[in-house]
Chain A
Amino acid sequence: MTRRQSPEPFAWLLFSAGGTVTALMFPVLLFLFGVAIPLGWLSAPDHAHLLAVVRNPITKLVLLGLCVLALFHWAHRFRYTLYDGLRLKRLSTVIIVGCYGGAALGSLLAGYIVLRT
């Protein structure tokens, strides 16, 4: 008998790592750039400062790691949301390709944007 290797544990590992980093970092980032700065509660940082921040190799590493893990977290959870919430388990193949494929394409795009800055 051959042992079937399932990619499921790997997908779950990415989901889990992504869940943790997004829970730790997304609230503050979203609050700053999505709520507090647009509403004028905090003044917008000037461009030169932010450019220096995003060009720092440590920032690039953090941003890229956050984006990739968050996307695979989304892919895994959204896959099961479609299965359970909308009862679409019969479309399993399409959903798997769409979710993880979307996350992979998004990761490539994230790499391109973060590394060229």
Chain B
Amino acid sequence: MSSTAGPYRRPVSLFWWLERRSYLVFVLRELSSVFVAWFVVYLLMLVSAIGGGSDSYQRFLDRSDQAWMLVLNIVSFLFVLLHMVTWFGLAPKAMVVRLRGRRVPSRAILAGHYALCALLSAVVAWVVLR
């Protein structure tokens, strides 16, 4: 036995994130970024199809209606919601806002994020659907 051996490290399984519920939520939250990236691709496909004329827009609509695409987008939507909830949940810890020398309570910061999200969602829906 050589004296150069380092401190003992418990071997960690590749599936360590299945051991506890909180680990699983952590991993799902981290995986949400993959679906964020997918939606960037989808959004660019949409913009490109719109720019390509009404025929290419129609082809995009037909493609978005296919079963595999729908399943992918519904799963992505759920992951994006998980990202939203966990991100806003961390916001009060990440930002300390002071108003007239007093710290704004974390509930107010959380509520502010959801209010801004609701406002922006309404604006987007109005612009798209009017």
Contacts and interface: CB of A to CB of B under 8 A. Distances in A.
Interface of A: 16, 18-20, 22-35, 37-39, 42, 44-45, 47-51, 53-54, 59, 63, 66-67, 70-71, 73-74, 77-78, 80-81, 84-87, 106, 109-110, 113-114, 116-117
B37 A54 contact: no
A110 B117 contact: no
A66 B88 CA distance: 17
A116 B50 CA distance: 11
Contact of A110 (B44, B65, B127): B44
A34 B51 CA distance: 18
20 contacts: A23-B113, A24-B113, A25-B120, A25-B124, A27-B77, A30-B73, A30-B77, A34-B76, A34-B77, A35-B73, A37-B61, A38-B64, A38-B69, A54-B47, A67-B40, A67-B44, A71-B40, A73-B36, A85-B17, A110-B40
A85 B11 CA distance: 14
A10 to B, nearest CB: 17
Contact of B87 (A20, A44, A66, A114): A20
B109 interface: no
Given A38-B70, A74-B33, A109 B83 contact: no
Nearest to A80: B30
Nearest to B14: A87
A115 to B, nearest CB: 10
Contact of A113 (B48, B94, B116): B48
A78 B33 contact: yes
Contacts of A42: 129
Contacts of B91: 20
B69 A27 contact: no
A16 B32 CA distance: 14
B96 interface: no
Given A87-B12, A87-B14, A109 B44 contact: yes
Contacts of A80: 30
Interface in B1-40: 12, 14, 17, 27, 30-34, 36-37, 39-40
Contact of B47 (A26, A31, A113): A113
Contacts of B116: 24
